[in-house]
Structure 1
Amino acid sequence: MVKASLFELEAVTAVARTGGFRSAAQSLEMSASALSHAVASLEARLGVRLFNRTTRSVALSAAGEQFVADVAPALAAIGSAIETIGERNAEPSGTLRLNTSAGAARMLLVPLILDYIRRYPGMEVEIVTEGALVDVIGQGFDAGIRLAEAVPPDMISIPIQPLLYSAVVGAPSYFEKRNRPTVPSDLLQHTCIRARMASGRLYRWEFERRGENLLIDVPGRLTLDESSLMLEAAIAGAGLAYLSEYAVAAHVAAGRLVKVLEDWIPPYPGLCLYFAGRRHIPAKLRALIDLIRSKTDLPV
């Protein structure tokens, strides 16, 4: 039986991946001549040409394509096993890049992300906030944090909260000359602060009670696309706003806002951490997952 060293197999797959001996040698941090010798030696023992070479290009032969297709998954598994055992007793280090919404970042910054940084001094965290869902893998993020209903189906998701709640709120000054709404249809007679979604559509306020579900296209003269601006406008008495319970709780407690239609507000699935499915999860991401699973006091 023909034997091949791990080094020779890595050399073959590196040339196939990069398309050349020089670039493959750079990726493996070795000389091009040593890499070329390793590939030629393996070809000689196999009795098969794995690459078709010219002075200007290198391309896999038909036999080479099949060989790399068979060998590459095994090499990846070996590399993953080596990396996993190497990280077993090591503290996470490096940079963790997360993509999420501004609202989710505000909610989780102190109880989760800052706690993560305190626990793992070798880690740096970069958070990018965007309203629209992005390709986290294609844009170089380790993971994303979004509402459960927005997580792409091909991703692995880790629940952060079971449920979240919203609230319809208005300032006491707004209600000085207006009756408080008691059913959702009353909103059609009120001034509301409308929300423009990242998709461009206007958000229709959602209500549910005893199996009755309603979507209300509320009237209003002010339309905003950022929740903190909606909150400021509501506190200033500009109209009613539909916001997260987390965002308004302190203002309700302080008397700056009043909640209405509380028995009509349905809960919705909470935030999830999500990432691409793979056999090996990096230590830095595994540490965040373990921290999420250990916490029972994250805001809802």
Structure 2
Amino acid sequence: MARPSLNDLTAFVAVATHRNFRRAADEIGTAPSTLSHAMRALEERMGVRLLNRTTRSVSPTEAGYRLLGRLQPALASLDEALDSVAGFRGKVAGTVRINAPRLVAGLLVRTALPRMAELHPDVTVDIVVDGRLIDIVSGGFDAGVRPFGSVPKDMITVLLARPLTFICVASPAYLDRFGEPGTPEELLRHHCIGHRMPSGKLYRWEFERAGQELALEANGTIVLDDEELMVEAAIGGLGVAYVANWAVEAALSEGSLRKILTAWVPAPEEVAVYYPGHRAVPPALRAFLDIVKELRKKGP
């Protein structure tokens, strides 16, 4: 059997990952019909069917899934090997486009971007703030940043240095007036600042203590879709807010907010930069990922 070319194998990974010839063709810069013919030629050369095709969909066969599982880490390792000599070419330049929710974008601005500016002044970091979980490939992004549990399974991830934890906070003035709730259920008798998600649904407040999990629809007369506004509303004494720990660090240290229900804080969740493993990693993105890894080693 003639050994398939690296281009053919990379094309197969793109098709098997996207399950769509048009999107895969857009990614690798060819026509869908050309890509379809290339996949048939690959199957004939290997003597095994790799893809199930219908008029509306394409998906890997059992053999295709097995090949995909082996190729993805192999191609990622090859990219890393090639990138390891990037420093010998001189300075890194270019643009890295990142999709991230506002809260994480703020953390990157405070931590990773100053280091990028110091080490790679010729790299432009273009961050698009978006609360929705989108297809970063079709959206033209090099990488996305999301809680680890919501990252698509076919992506490669690099964890950020700091995990995310959601906590309840309120201003001292509000607590003096209305009292401090001792259990999550008591929130139902308080003024709570609702959180509307990008989908339009109201976020349910989640709590955990000694393995016991609880979720409440603790919404009051104010509903907001921006975490910074929720913090401002809580500081203003308008109610109890349920927000990420990153968003309230300054307010807690200044004393303008107090943490409540501390025994019911859910387990921290890792946050990750993620990117496709079936395409070459651009030098600008590789430089950004290296800084994320460096910051994680240093710790929070």
What secondary structure, in the 3-state scheme, does the structure 2 residue paired with 1:250 have? helix
Whole-angstrom distance in 2 between the partners of 1:87 and 1:275: 19
Aligned partners of 2:161 and 2:295 also within 8 Å: no
The answer for the alignment partner of 1:111 in structure 2 is 111
Aligned partners of 1:84 and 1:280 also within 8 Å: no
Change in CA separation of 1:219 and 1:281 when aligned onto 2, cut-off 3 Å: closer
Change in CA separation of 1:99 and 1:219 when aligned onto 2, cut-off 3 Å: closer
Q: 1:189 Cα shift? A: 0.9
Q: Extract unaligned runs of 5+ from structure 1.
A: 1-8, 10-26, 28-57
Alignment of 1:7-156 (within 5 A): 66=41, 87-89=86-88, 90-156=90-156
Name segments (4+ residues, structure 1) moved above 6 Å: 62-65, 67-70, 79-83
Q: Does 1:294 align with 2:269?
A: no
The CA RMSD over aligned residues, in Å, is 3.3
Whole-angstrom distance in 1 between the partners of 2:252 and 2:39: 68
Change in CA separation of 1:171 and 1:154 when aligned onto 2, cut-off 3 Å: same
Change in CA separation of 1:106 and 1:140 when aligned onto 2, cut-off 3 Å: same
Q: 1:208 Cα shift? A: 0.6
Whole-angstrom distance in 2 between the partners of 1:139 and 1:132: 12
Q: 1:251 Cα shift? A: 0.9
Alignment of 1:196-207 (within 5 A): 196-207=196-207
Change in CA separation of 1:239 and 1:281 when aligned onto 2, cut-off 3 Å: same
Alignment of 1:121-270 (within 5 A): 121-161=121-161, 163-270=163-270
Change in CA separation of 1:261 and 1:283 when aligned onto 2, cut-off 3 Å: same
Whose RCO is larger (CA < 8 A, sep 6+)? 2
Q: Give 1 or 2 for the bigger CA radius of gyration.
A: 1
Q: Does 1:276 align with 2:251?
A: no
Superposed CA offset, 1:219-239 (max 9, x none): 300011110111111111100
Which has the higher mean CA deviation after the structures are superposed, 88-97 or 127-136?
A: 88-97
TM-score with structure 1 length normalisation? 0.71
Whole-angstrom distance in 2 between the partners of 1:163 and 1:269: 5
Aligned partners of 1:111 and 1:298 also within 8 Å: no
Superposed CA offset, 1:100-134 (max 9, x none): 00110111212112211221022111000001111
Change in CA separation of 1:135 and 1:69 when aligned onto 2, cut-off 3 Å: farther
Q: Extract unaligned runs of 5+ from structure 2.
A: 1-6, 8-28, 46-70
Letter aligned with residue 290 of structure 1: D
Q: 1:289 Cα shift? A: 1.7
Aligned partners of 1:190 and 1:219 also within 8 Å: no
Q: 1:179 Cα shift? A: 1.5
Superposed CA offset, 1:153-202 (max 9, x none): 11111111363222211111212221201111110110100001112211
Change in CA separation of 1:220 and 1:294 when aligned onto 2, cut-off 3 Å: same
Letter aligned with residue 204 of structure 1: R
Q: 1:63 Cα shift? A: 10
Whole-angstrom distance in 2 between the partners of 1:192 and 1:69: 62
Letter aligned with residue 258 of structure 1: R
Letter aligned with residue 250 of structure 1: A
Which has the higher mean CA deviation after the structures are superposed, 232-241 or 272-281?
A: 272-281
